[in-house]
Amino acid sequence: MNPTRSRHGEARCAEVIVIARDLLVEGGLDTFAMRTVAARAGMRLGNLQYYYATRDELLEEVSRTEFERYLNTIRDTVTAHPAENNELAQLARRLVHDWCAASGVAFLTLASLAYRSERFRALNREIYERFYAEMSSIILRLDSKLDPGEVAIRARLMTSVLDGVALQVHAVPGDAASRSDLIDRAGQLIVAVATGSNARDKVRPNRR
């Protein structure tokens, strides 16, 4: 944010971002209008535009803020040895769960905007590169001797699983049981990719 803003201004901006993010999650881009955000925030449109001059500027800040929140969630979940005590599996499920929730809506919206705008293409690339780096650090915790090329491929595959599952959940939500099963198996697949295990044996349902 602008370093010249007062504490009140910073707090007001943070409030606006939460409101805008919730509006985006609820209705997507179709309902994401500056006037609607201003009305929900209890402020005039001109006052909102003092902080965020355009809709795209506000959307960019929402995307950045949501991504930082998501990264912090990952970092809070990762411990010193993520491969021990089933911690990697817990992390994988948390990754999928959050990506299929509000975070996924924000990131899928950003991806769609990237097709029409260089501004959002650049932001999309920036966010994905940072996310690949975060996934790479998790992979290297498991095996610090892996070839950098292999690490990069695994990081992109893990991200591809997250994108695909989020798209399916939001496009065809299904019932709660099928959604939970999908998230569980996607988490297992992410573990398989991160560890280099045989994915076929990781995503089969439990059989009694």
In a domain, 207, yes or no: no
Which residues make Cβ contacts (< 8 Å) with residue 42, sequence separation at least 6?
none
Residues 18 and 73 in one domain: no
In a domain, 196, yes or no: yes
SS3 4: coil
In a domain, 126, yes or no: yes
What is the DSSP secondary-structure string of 134-177?
HHHHHHHHH-TTS-HHHHHHHHHHHHHHHHHHHHHHHHS---HH
Residues 31 and 126 in one domain: no
User: Residue 196 has what pLDDT?
Assistant: 92
Q: What residues make up the domain containing 102? A: 62-201
Let me know: does 183 contact 96? Beta carbons within 8 Å: yes
User: 117: which DSSP letter?
Assistant: -
Domain CATH number, residue 16:
1.10.10.60
Of the candidates 62, 139, 126, 64, which has an alpha carbon nearest to the alpha carbon of residue 95?
Answer: 139
In a domain, 91, yes or no: yes
User: 205: which DSSP letter?
Assistant: P
Model confidence at 5, pLDDT cuts 50, 70, 90, reads: low
Let me know: does 161 contact 202? Beta carbons within 8 Å: no
Let me know: does 140 contact 193? Beta carbons within 8 Å: no
User: Residue 178 has what pLDDT?
Assistant: 86
pLDDT by residue (tens digit) across 120-165? 999 999 999 999 999 999 999 889 999 999 999 999 999 999 999 9
In a domain, 118, yes or no: yes
Residues 35 and 82 in one domain: no
In a domain, 208, yes or no: no
**200 pLDDT higher than 50:** no
Residues 141 and 41 in one domain: no
Number of domains observed in the structure of the chain: 2
Q: What pTM did the predictor assign?
A: 0.83
Residues 96 and 147 in one domain: yes
Domain limit, last residue, from 17, 36, 53: 53
pLDDT by residue (tens digit) across 73-122? 888 877 655 665 567 888 898 889 888 887 888 888 888 899 889 999 99
Give the gyration radius of the chain's Cα atoms: 19
Let me know: does 88 contact 188? Beta carbons within 8 Å: no
Q: Which of 10-14, 78-82, 181-185 has the lowest mean pLDDT?
A: 78-82
How far is residue 118's CA from residue 152's CA, in Å, rounded to a whole number?
25
**1 pLDDT higher than 70:** no
How far is residue 91's CA from residue 142's CA, in Å, rounded to a whole number?
13
Torsion sign (Cα): 18, 113, 33, 54: positive
Tokens of residue 150, six digits: 């292999």
Cβ neighbours around 195 below 10 Å, total: 15
Of the candidates 145, 135, 150, 142, which has an alpha carbon nearest to the alpha carbon of residue 83?
Answer: 142
Residues 15 and 85 in one domain: no
Q: Which of 47-51, 69-73, 200-204 has the lowest mean pLDDT?
A: 200-204
In a domain, 206, yes or no: no
How much of the chain, in percent, has pLDDT values that exceed 70? 88
Which helix (H) or strand (E) covers residue 109, if one does? helix 102-114
Residues 76 and 95 in one domain: yes
Residues 94 and 186 in one domain: yes
